[in-house]
Amino acid sequence: MKKFIFFGFLIAVLGHTVLLADEPMSKSNDYIAHCNFAFGFSYAFGGEINGSQGLNITLVDRYSDTYHFNYRPGENDRFPLGFNIMLSLPFVYREYFSVGMYGQALLNGFAIGKDSTLFYGGGVYGEGIYKQFSLRAGLGIMGVNVSKSVGKVVPAWPGDPGYYTGSKFVRPGETLTASSNDFLGIAGNIAIKYYPFKQSSGFLSAFFLQLGYYFFPGIEVSGYDLKLDGTTVSTSNPLPSFKVDPTHAVSLLVGIGL
């Protein structure tokens, strides 16, 4: 379901762009000038993983050696900084307002060796414009990809070379990662844009800074993949579920577009 919604959004964007290609060149150029592309850094609050139980996972390798991984909710290794990209395509644009659709990808925790959460999707926005400033609000449908470290390989016996996948040994100390891709739900955002060179001519007049707040609802994850050193592994026991709290992100973006 989540994939159909996301690809449906992309098809709508492409279809809208193709229809505009048949318009006179002057109108097409004017439309392109009112499309917005913005990117920049974000800082996330919330999004902690919690639950009434820990993630107690037991794996048995091809030599029947047993490995235990015990993650306790609250052991949060997330990196709060992230990266936000947004593309906006207007349906209607006038001197004082604009209405259209947007696509967004916001990655929290992009630091190497840290846990990460990727929010992606899109929706509709409305924007009111006054001189060099504008106030923008959006509402969309989002998906989320969560990657979480849930423990490290501990030797099953003294001198153990590690977990055997059937083709290689995963050495002690390597991280077991749980990852899930899920439909998240409805998310909202609000932002203030500032055009410092709006009175200028040419390219600089469309340059802007955008300070925004983005909300993503929480989710309970019950189905996820386990990987050791990039290799998918399985367990005969049911996987415990966990909850991801709602996430609040503040982003400072730079962009281009009227």
pLDDT digits (tens, 9 = 90+) for 168-185: 999 999 989 888 899 999
Model confidence pLDDT, tens digit, residues 96-132: 999 999 999 999 876 555 678 899 999 999 999 999 9
Give the confidence band of 137 by pLDDT, cuts at 50, 70, 90: very high
Return d(Cα 78, Cα 39) in angstroms, integer: 21
**pLDDT recorded at residue 240:** 75
DSSP the chain: -HHHHHHHHHHHHHHHHHHHHTS-HHHHHHHHHT-EEEEEEEEEEE--EE-SS-EEEEEE-TT--EEEEEE-TT---B-SEEEEEEEEEEEEE-SSEEEEEEEEEEEE--STTSBEEEEEEEEEEEEEEETTEEEEEEEEEEEEEEEEEEEE---SSTT---EE-SS-EE-TTPEEEEEEEEEEEEEEEEEEEE-TTTTS-SGGGGEEEEEEEEEE--EEE---EEEETTEEE--SSPPPPEEE--EEEEEEEEEE--
- The interaxial angle of helices 2-21 and 25-33, nearest 10 deg, is 140
pLDDT, mean of residues 202-224? 90
The Cα 175–Cα 79 span in angstroms is: 17
Q: Is the pLDDT of residue 6 over 50?
A: no
Residue 246 above 70 pLDDT?
yes
> Number of C-alpha atoms within 13 angstroms, CB side, residue 249?
32
pLDDT confidence of residue 258? 87
Count of C-beta atoms within a 10 Å radius of residue 220: 10
Is residue 16 scored above 90 in pLDDT?
A: no
The answer to whether residues 126 and 97 touch, using CB atoms and an 8 Å cutoff, is yes
pTM for the structure as a whole:
0.81
89 vs 47: which has the higher pLDDT: 89
Mean pLDDT of 52-57: 66
